[in-house]
Chain A
Amino acid sequence: MTDALQRSPLHDEHVAHGATLVPFAGWEMPVRYSGDLAEHTAVRTAAGLFDLSHMGEISVRGADAAAFLEHALVGRLSAVKLWGAKYTMMCTPEGGVIDDLIVYRRDLDHFVIVANASNHATVIGELRERRNSFDVGIEDLSVETALIAVQGPAAERIVARMCHRGDDDIRAMRYYTFANIVLDGGIHAVAARTGYTGEDGLELFVSADDAAAVWRLALAQGEGDGLIPCGLAARDSLRLEAGMPLYGQELTRDTTPYEAGLGRIVVLGTAERPRGDFVGRDALVRAKADGPRKVLVGLAGEGRRAARAGYPVVDEDGAEVGRVTSGAPSPTLGHPIAMAYVPPALAEPGTTVAIDVRGRREPMTVVALPFYTRAS
């Protein structure tokens, strides 16, 4: 692949801040600014600023929008309230995960879907494939949309200060809701109380043309609270501590939502509250009845050597019985943590398993997810 990498509208800001840029899902994005640990800690204790402009935004609008999304995705999207958001998934007809998504309801007939950068084109293609006779328009908003996240315990007051006249009621916004706001300088934004770090936080959807101004505004208003720009490395260690799955690691087309521990987001419908057919339904009904072949678990280690993605989970004879999907030394907890797929018999918290860490077996203990929960 020699295709040129796409650049975020904030590219020049990243270069000016001395960020280390890496290729990520076809984009050139910052992996770190100052240091992974400092950025991770800033989000846990103060605030971090993330450029998520590589994420895909897709508008679905039309008289059948709600019915269409219920057909194309696994959740009950017609039940999402106006200005509410829902975590959901798109599955294959075989019940495997194509992508995990957040769906925002802007109006009775208008939704915006946020997809992972790596799956953005696939998700749009599948939506068009599944449109059939539904009366909806599907529009890719990714190029003109920048996504900037402010995450951490100080995020709410920083974003409140970023607002024009400070009169937007950010504080009243509950988790998984969103609102139109006006930022300092008259910049229009959509603020969503969503995130991928395990902390409170807001995600700001703005026009790509306004991205640099919003980025600088966040830095200026957040500096006093300890806000620093953060890269993908911190984002990954933060979401891992929070037990949040990542597409390509915990979630794949060979994995059902049930195996990933996310069966709650699949709505099959009941006699009292039926729902229509959806892509993957038959396979998911069977998957639920049969029980999982593998189970996603959290693992905690006592040593210093961390299990990493792809390392085998082995039995006493050294035979592979599972596989690590994500792993790192936890900056907050101070010991190695990992997520792995193991047979159901090994999934009970307290079970000891061994990971083959580059030829040496390291014991780890199955623990409940998430590893980290913020104090409320």
Chain B
Amino acid sequence: MASVPEELAYSAEHEWVAGDPDAGAVVTVGITSHAAQALGDIVYVEAPSVGDTVTAGEVCGELESTKAVSELYSPVSGTVTAVNEGLTSSPETINSDAYGDGWIFKVELSETADDLLDAEAYVATLA
């Protein structure tokens, strides 16, 4: 069973969100280790760019593994303020450290993110 840290919030599309969910705050987004395991070894990440507007539940990039390609959804709405440049040369970091160095982008929230799941509710979606 992949880990699901208690302190994070989650989307049903297997993204995690770290940080205060209020409008105006900046949160960090990545994919869960469950999603990373299901994808297999990730070899390419197409993340949104700094300044892009992202919308909760909509596609904002893609993740490519040796076996498959998967769309990356934004779990929150707002403006992208940072992108993890380290993933360009080492996309496999998402597999090895999904909740740490494998973060994908940061968003300044345009609205409060109140549709996210807590760890327990996210685990329930995996059953």
Contact = CB atoms under 8 A, between A and B. Distances in A.
Contact of B41 (A35, A306, A358): A35
B40 A329 contact: no
B60 to A, nearest CB: 14
Interface residues of A, number: 19
A306 B67 contact: no
A40 B67 CA distance: 12
Interface string B22-57: 000000000000000100110110100000000000
B93 interface: no
Q: Which 9 A-B pairs have the closest CB atoms?
A: A304-B44, A37-B41, A36-B66, A329-B43, A36-B40, A36-B41, A233-B67, A35-B41, A237-B66
A211 B67 CA distance: 28
A20 B41 CA distance: 13
A25 to B, nearest CB: 17
A153 to B, nearest CB: 21
Contact of A329 (B37, B62, B64, B95): B64
B67 A328 contact: yes
Contact of A328 (B37, B62, B66, B95): B66
A32 interface: yes
Among B65, B67, B95: residue with most chain A CB under 10 A:
B67
A91 to B, nearest CB: 31
B35 to A, nearest CB: 14
A305 B64 contact: yes
A35 B95 contact: yes
Contact of A37 (B37, B66, B69): B66
Contacts of B95: 35
Contacts of B92: 37
Contacts of B44: 304-306, 329
Contacts of A305: 44, 46, 64
Interface in A11-38: 20, 31-32, 35-38
Nearest to B67: A233
B67 A36 contact: yes
Nearest to B40: A36
A308 interface: yes
A32 B40 contact: yes
Contacts of A37: 41, 43, 66, 92
B69 A306 contact: yes
A331 interface: yes
Contacts of B68: 308
Interface in B60-100: 62, 64-69, 92, 95
Contacts of B66: 36-37, 40, 233, 237, 328-329, 331
A358 B40 contact: no
Contact of A358 (B43, B62, B65): B62
